[in-house]
Amino acid sequence: MTVAGFAPFYLFAVPVATLAVLIVLWRRAAGRRAAALIGFSFGLGYFLTGVSWVYVSLHDFGAMPAPLAGILTLLFCAYLALYPAVTGWIYHALGPRSALATLAALPALWTLAEWLRGWLFTGFPWIALGYSQVPASPLAGYVPVLGIYVASLATVVTAGAIVTLWANWKDEGERMKAEGRRLIGKVTARRNGNSFFILHPSSFIVRRLRFLLHPSLFILAALLASGYALQQLDWTAPEGEPIVVSLLQGNIPQEMKWRDDKIEATLEKYRRLVDSSNARLIVLPETALPLFLHDVPQYYLNGFASHSRSNGGDVLVGVPERTDKRDYFNSVLSFGASPTQTYRKSHLVPFGEFVPLKPLFGWFLDVVQIPLLDFARGAQTQQPLAVAGQRVAVNICYEDAFGAEIIRQLLQATLLANVSNVAWFGRSIAPQQHLQISQARALETGRYMLRATNTGMTAIIDPYGRVRKVAPEFTESIVTGVVQGRGGATPYVRWGNTPIVALALLLALAGGWLALREDGKLRDLPNR
């Protein structure tokens, strides 16, 4: 159910509801082990539903035997499920019926767990809870301020406030029933042989009105109202003249992409698509040219450059690049009116673009058929590409899942561009999820995001995270539109993830300590 909050469904209220149910189950758990098991079960279902496309990549396109691909996908999701399991264990240890534990410590613990998941072992921040709130939820207003993880924190606070209010309403009702029974027993009179009861004047209305004054309600109202108010702000300003851009979607089937007998047809398709566009900036997908750069005919690249100069701009081309040292990179190069420039992918996909700890995992190379499985890393900090009168911060595929790395090219950049080959995921929900991740990056930075993909979702995203144009999946398409470069910096661009991590640590420590003190557990904690 929680996955319904993410693309392609965008039902941002659903994760709040499912998380509220999870919190209720944690509150009712018999002990810490039970709470951890509940968290693990929730996480396993969450990730098996949300990232099941890992199996598609391994089996359908990586040629891994189905049983092994299934086992590895299950193990991967089980690893990811450990994060909500640990979160549930700690939350229960703090005293789950404490409002402080629910409204402060738990949101902080969840946020820290997501941040750690997005960093540990090179990181896997996919379907972090905050993405479910982008772009329409009021909680998305916090994203330009503190990044996607603050939306995760706000989502858990919202769910916790709902649970706290519900619990308070329920407890108040039980107290009223008990008090009513006592009053009825005491205040009974007889008149003319008939019994009548005198009810306490504040038995319902006054007591129920106290519910409206509960702090959780004020927290919930303030959270939603502040998020909505922040959505009305422009954190960046237009810079320079608008330009016309074209984003090319070649729709090359993954099983055909690297076949020698299909390379010529692929080159011809992208030559035709480029020649059909008069946009000042043309963007091709990741590894659009399935050859090393030095193997691409020079006349072919000269054709790109000549056409782009005639448009007064440039074309960005995804193509693998090999150096004299025999290292090869997943690169994007520019050709056209501006000098040729290069961006090399830095954050590689483990087991997709490189094999970590080869002495331990070298066997992986023998059971999959993934071309170019040993890329070298580009520099962590690279300058935006000065093309078509803009400064374009390029990122390649998986890189746009890491907001703190995207901002390395800012403040200088006026546009963002993501090039991807999501054909690896087949007809799964992964391309739509990836689109939503790009929406979050646009919102965090206050800049247009241009997405050029092989099979979908090729799209233009505005600085508010809204999709302005998108190509249908699995079609040959050109997405053309006018975009405006933006200058300036959102708070997130200036500070990155440091403030939200610090805030979460502070809330976890302060909320946890106060919750333990409130429940009288500090004295006997070491013995528990």
pLDDT tens-digit series, residues 74-119 = 999 999 999 999 999 999 999 888 888 999 999 999 999 999 999 9
Mapped to the 3 state alphabet, what secondary structure does 495-516 carry?
HCCHHHHHHHHHHHHHHHHHHH
Residue 340 carries which DSSP code?
P
Rounded distance between C-alpha atoms, residue 80 and residue 129, angstroms: 13
Rounded distance between C-alpha atoms, residue 169 and residue 173, angstroms: 6
Q: How far is CA 33 from CA 38, 90, 184, 471, in A?
A: 9, 10, 44, 47
pLDDT tens-digit series, residues 286-343 = 999 999 999 999 999 999 999 999 999 999 999 999 987 778 999 999 999 999 999 9
Residue 186 pLDDT class (50, 70, 90 cuts): low
What is the torsion angle, in degrees rounded to the nearest 10, for the CA atoms of residue 37, residue 38, residue 42 and residue 47?
Answer: -10
Rounded distance between C-alpha atoms, residue 257 and residue 455, angstroms: 11
Out of 77, 257, 286, 321, which one is annotated catalytic?
Answer: 286
The chain-wide mean pLDDT, for the chain, equals 90
Q: Could you state, in order of their start, the residue ranges of all structural domains in the chain? A: 2-164+495-527, 238-489
Mapped to the 3 state alphabet, what secondary structure does 407-451 carry?
HHHCCCCCEEEEEECHHHHCCCCHHHHHHHHHHHHHHHHCCCEEE
Place of tokens 């700690």: 90
Percent of the chain having pLDDT more than 90?
73
Q: How far is CA 249 from CA 54, 219, 238, in A?
A: 23, 45, 28
Rounded distance between C-alpha atoms, residue 325 and residue 274, angstroms: 32
The domain at 238-489 falls in which architecture? 4-Layer Sandwich (3.60)
For the ranges 13-17, 55-59, 342-346, 505-509, the lowest mean pLDDT is seen at: 55-59
Rounded distance between C-alpha atoms, residue 403 and residue 125, angstroms: 10
Whether the CA torsion 418, 422, 425, 426 is positive or negative: it is positive
Residue type, 355: V
- Residue 319, SS3? strand
Residue 210 pLDDT class (50, 70, 90 cuts): low
Place of tokens 């007809």: 427
How open is the CA angle 101-102-108, to the nearest 5 degrees? Answer: 75
Rounded distance between C-alpha atoms, residue 417 and residue 400, angstroms: 9
Out of 77, 114, 257, 345, which one is annotated catalytic?
Answer: 345
> In a 10 Å sphere around its CB, with 0-12 CB exposed, 13-18 middle and 19+ buried, how is residue 272 labelled?
exposed
Out of 353, 397, 399, 444, which one is annotated catalytic?
Answer: 397
pTM for the complete prediction? 0.91
Distance of CA 221 to the CA centre of its chain: 25
Rounded distance between C-alpha atoms, residue 458 and residue 463, angstroms: 16
Q: How far is CA 265 from CA 258, 331, 410, 433, 491, in A?
A: 11, 21, 37, 30, 46
Q: Is 404:497 a contact under the CB 8 Å cutoff?
A: yes
318 CB-near residues (< 8 Å, 6+ apart): 284, 285, 286, 287, 288, 289, 330, 331, 332, 396, 419, 421, 452
Write down the H helix ranges in 315-429. Answer: 358-361, 364-367, 403-406
Q: What is the pLDDT of residue 515?
A: 86
- Residue 91, SS3? helix
445 CB-near residues (< 8 Å, 6+ apart): 144, 236, 406, 407, 410, 413, 416, 463, 490, 492, 493
Residue type, 217: L
Which two structure tokens, joined as six digits, stand for 291?
């050859």
Q: Is 457:449 a contact under the CB 8 Å cutoff?
A: no
Q: Is 270:250 a contact under the CB 8 Å cutoff?
A: yes
Percent of the chain having pLDDT more than 70?
89
- Greatest Cα pair distance, the chain, in angstroms, is 112
Residue 189 pLDDT class (50, 70, 90 cuts): very low
Residue 183 pLDDT class (50, 70, 90 cuts): low
Q: What are phi and psi of 155, to 5 degrees?
A: -65, -45
Q: Is 200:183 a contact under the CB 8 Å cutoff?
A: yes
Residue 372 pLDDT class (50, 70, 90 cuts): low
Question: Who has greater pLDDT, 30 or 181?
Answer: 30
Which two structure tokens, joined as six digits, stand for 350?
């483990």
Q: Is the pLDDT of residue 207 over 80?
A: no
The verdict on whether 345 is a catalytic residue reads yes
The verdict on whether 286 is a catalytic residue reads yes
Q: Is 132:155 a contact under the CB 8 Å cutoff?
A: yes
